[in-house]
Chain A
Amino acid sequence: MKFHYSVQFLIILASNLIFAQGPPINTNTAFVMGLEGGAIRSYLKIVSKSTLLKNGNKITDEMDRKVNVFAFPIMVPYEVIPNKLVVIGAIPYIKKEMNLTQNGQRIMRSNAGLGDFKLLAKYQFFQRDSRNSTLRMTGLGGIEFPTGKDNKSDSIGLLPAPLQLGSGSIDFIGGTIVTYVKNRIGFNTEVIYKKNTKAIDYQFGDVLTLNIALGYRIFPKVYNIYPSPYSTVYIELLSQFSGKDKMKNTMQKNTGGNILMVSPGLQHVFSRTFLLEASLQYPVSQKLNGIQLGDDYTFNFGFRWLIN
C-alpha cells in the first residue's frame, strides 16, 4: 500500500478543482456566482511519483518503483440558488501505471477507466462588497459515491487498493472557503476535511487539506471594459494531513503522513466564458509515515467554460 497517495491526492484535488468561477487553480474559491446556469471544467492532471521515502527521508529503492497517474475529470457545477447555492457533479477518467523490478524483471501493473462520482454543494454564507473588492465565505459539503471499480485484477492478482479506480466506500467531504479580492490581487484559503469510510476490507485514512492561494493579475494593468482577455499568475501552498489506512481493521504503517506543496500557475481568460490554466505542483516537504513513494511533481492543464 505504498502508492495510496496517488489515489488520495486525486480524490482531494478533484474535490478542490471543481468550480468554474475563476481563480485560483488548485485552491477553491468562495465565489458561487457568475455561472448563470451551468459550467464545465476539465483538465489533464499528471502525477509522477518515484522517490522512495522512509519516515520522510529519501532512500534507495531496489525495486525502482515508478507511479504515473493521468487523470481527466469532467466537472459540472450548476447554480441552484443565485449567488447562494451551487451543486457540482464530477467524475474522472483515470489511468494509473506502476512500474517496478521484481525478481530481476521489470513489470508494469496498470488500470484505466472512470473513477468515483462526487456530488458537492457550495453555500455562500457571508458576503461583503465594496468598490472593486469583495470578501466572501462559503461552506462546502459533499459525498463521493463508489462508482469506480475497486476489485480489478491483472495477471499477477488483485491490484492494490491505490491502483484501483475507486475507493469502494462512500466518503464525506466538508469544509470552509474564504476569498478576498481587491483590484489585481486575490487571496483564497480553504480548510477541507474528508471522512473516508470502510469499503469491503480497506479504509483510506481521513484527510485534512489546508490550502492558501495568492493571485495577481499581470495583464492588463487596468481592466476597463468587460469582456477583455486577462492573465493572472498564482502561487499556492497546498498542504495535506492524512491518517493511516486500515486493512481488515489493521492499521497500515506505510500509509498516511503530511505533504506540503508549492504550486506556481498561470491562468488566461480568453473570452467572457472560456479560460485556460496550468500549474505545476512541487513538493516542499513530505513527512510520510513508514516507507512510501513520495511525489516528484504534479502537472495540471485544463479549461473552464461557462454555459447557460
Chain B
Amino acid sequence: MIKTLTKRTLFFLPFLILVNGQPAENSWKEKVTVRVDGLACPFCAYGLEKKLERLNGVEDLIIKINEGVVILYSDEKGKIDEKLIRQKVKEAGFTPREVERETMELSGARSNGDDVKTIHLSIDGMKCEFCVLNIETALKNIEGVDEVIVNLENNSAEVLVKKGIVRADTLIEVIEGLGKFKARVKKYKKGIDFMKQNIVNFFALFTSTGILLCCALPAAIAAIAGGAAVGTFLTTFPWLIPISQHKGWIFLVSGILIGFSGFLTLRPHGKIACSVTGGKGCEDTGRLTKFMFWGAVAVYGTGVFFSYGIVPILRLLDKYMFT
C-alpha cells in the first residue's frame, strides 16, 4: 500500500508543478458589503472566512475587523444569495446587519468580466501593519488600480486592476520604489508541499499502526477475555513487548506527528492554492494526503480507546451493571 501511495504521489508531482505554474486571474463584477456585528475577536473570524468563501459565487473576500464589515467579490451580478450570506454569518457566530450590493463600474468601458483582472504578488520585507498600509496607499494611487488587498500573514497582495492599463511590472516597481520591499508575481509550488505532507502523513500512519499493534490490540483481546490469544500474539511478534513498555511515549510522539501532519494537510494555504490553480492532479493528491491523515487519526483514536478507554469502561460496567 505504501508503495502504491508513493507511486501515486510521484505520478502526480510533475503534473502538479505544471498546473501550479501559472498565477490565477479573476474577474469581478459585483461587490457585496455585509455589516457584521460582534466582530470583536479576530481569532474567531476564521470560521466566518471559511463559511463565506465556500458560498456559491464568491470569488474573493476581505474581512475588515475594525469597520465590522465583510466584502465579498463575485464574477456574476446577483450570484451570491443574500439569505445564504446571513445564514452563514449566523452559523459563524456573528450577527449579520445591512447587505449592500455594488456593481464594479469601469470608466470608459462597459463593466464586464474582461475589463478587470487580479494580479497576485508575493512581497518580502513586510513586518507590520504600517508596511501593509504603506503598500496599500502606494498601489491605490496608481491610475487603473481598483482594489488592493495586502496580506501580512501570507506576504502577498491581490490587486484588482483594469486590463491593458496596469501591468504587474508597474506594481512591482512601485512597491520596490518604497525602498524596503521586494515583490514578484506569485508562483505556486504546492506539489512539493504535498510531497512533504505525504511523507509526514506516512510516518504518522506508521506510528499509529504501531500503537494499534503493540498496545491497543493486545489490550482489546485481553479485555474480551482472550488472554491465551494475547500470549500467542506476543510470541509471534516478540518485538511488540519492549514497544508496549513505553507506550506513553509512543502515544505522545505519534500524537505530535499526527498534529504536525494535520497542520501540513489541513492548513488553509494548501487548500487555497489548490482551488486557485485548479487541476485534477492537485485535487487527487490533496485527497490522498487527507485520506492518509484521517487514516492515521482513526488508527490513533482506536489505539487510545483500546489502550486507555476500554478497561475503565469495562470496570465501570462491571461495577454498576453487573453487581
Contacts and interface: CB of A to CB of B under 8 A. Distances in A.
Interface of A: 21-23, 31-36, 40, 42, 72, 74, 79, 82-83, 91, 93, 112-114, 117, 127, 129-134, 145-147, 170, 181-183, 186, 220, 222-230, 269-273, 275, 305-308
Interface in B49-96: 49-51, 62-66, 68, 90-95
A67 to B, nearest CB: 20
Contacts of A32: 93
A84 to B, nearest CB: 9
A287 B16 CA distance: 64
Interface string B127-147: 011001100000000000000
Given A34-B41, A224-B129, A272-B153, A129 B255 contact: no
Given A82-B47, A127-B93, A146-B312, 19 more contacts: A21-B44, A32-B93, A33-B47, A34-B92, A40-B262, A117-B308, A117-B309, A132-B65, A145-B309, A145-B312, A147-B309, A181-B40, A186-B40, A186-B41, A220-B129, A225-B62, A226-B42, A229-B152, A272-B49
A273 B154 CA distance: 12
B41 A223 contact: no
A271 B248 CA distance: 32
Contacts of B192: none
A228 B64 CA distance: 11
B164 interface: no
Contacts of B41: 21-23, 31, 34, 134, 181, 186
Contacts of B17: none
A229 B153 contact: yes
B312 A22 contact: no
A2 B89 CA distance: 51
Contact of B44 (A31, A113, A183, A229): A31
Interface stretch (B108-116, B183-191, B233-241, B263-271): B263-271
Interface of B: 35, 37-51, 62-66, 68, 90-95, 128-129, 132-133, 149-153, 248, 251-252, 255, 259, 262-263, 266-268, 304, 308-309, 312-313, 316
B252 A93 contact: yes
Specify which of A22, A33, A127 lies most central, judged by the most chain B CB atoms within 10 Å of its CB.
A33
Given A91-B308, A222-B66, A308 B50 contact: yes
Specify which of A34, A36, A117, A305 lies most central, judged by the most chain B CB atoms within 10 Å of its CB.
A34
B46 A273 contact: yes
B37 A129 contact: yes
